[in-house]
A = this chain, B = another copy of it.
């Protein structure tokens, strides 16, 4: 941003603009106000990724309005997360979307070609964790990553995991998705040498307390190189993994 400021100040110094205009330009808001939401249209530039709309708690009308504004500014691809089927249908009437009912996630626009450093492996403990894993997977793909899915490789049958050791060893980033006791993160953490994002899920009952059990497990992982996102936050894991997979040197 400093470079922008410099340019403005330079223009002012050189008499090309007036102090007042300089002030205005320095204050210029990098977002568009559409009433119920402030669109952050510069975000892609600043943060290098697509805009994301958190669908829960927004009406179909609000979502469509936000997507409209983004499309006008060519912000595609756009991810709409936590989008139930009904709202997805409403959205589909206005925009061409790629909707995953399982992941409750819509993509507006085309997914880009993978351009990350390597592959993101997404492993789940059981079949019930798949919706959260899919949210992570589609998010990562939409952000330009190649994704490998390893589903139902929970630790209670450790040989299922070991049989896929090659994928684990060759991953650039791994996302482990597991509910109940969430041990998958630790076991994978012991096998892999890449960064691991752990996603606890609310799969389970009784003393799983809505995912608390898996969350605590993952936070306490005895393996190093593991970090956690919120319960059921597949999107957050996919996003974080993509950032890691797009690491590059800066000045």
Contact = CB atoms under 8 A, between A and B. Distances in A.
Interface of A: 1-2, 5-6, 9-10, 12-13, 15, 18-19, 22-23, 26-27, 29-31, 36-38, 40, 43, 46-49, 52, 54, 56-58, 62, 117-119, 125-128, 130, 151-160, 162-163, 165-166, 169-173, 180-183, 185-187, 189-195, 197, 200, 202-233, 235-237, 239-240, 243-245, 247-251
A205 B232 contact: yes
A212 B9 CA distance: 46
Contacts of A232: 205-206
Given A47-B193, A151-B36, A181 B220 contact: yes
Contact of A2 (B166, B210, B239, B245): B166
A226 B244 contact: no
A128 B58 contact: yes
Given A58-B128, A172-B249, A156 B227 contact: no
A181 B240 contact: no
Contacts of A130: 36
B250 A170 contact: yes
Contact of A231 (B38, B200, B206, B233): B206
B247 A230 contact: no
B217 A217 contact: yes
B180 A220 contact: yes
Contacts of A125: 222
A58 B128 CA distance: 7
A244 B218 CA distance: 18
Contacts of A6: 19, 23
Contacts of A227: 197, 227-229, 236-237, 240
17 contacts: A1-B169, A5-B23, A13-B19, A36-B151, A37-B152, A54-B126, A156-B190, A156-B222, A158-B191, A205-B230, A206-B211, A207-B230, A208-B216, A217-B217, A219-B231, A224-B240, A228-B228
A192 B203 CA distance: 24
A231 B208 CA distance: 9
Question: Which one of A190, A217, A219 has the greatest number of beta carbons of chain B within 10 Å?
Answer: A219
A160 B30 CA distance: 8
B159 A30 contact: yes
B181 A186 contact: yes
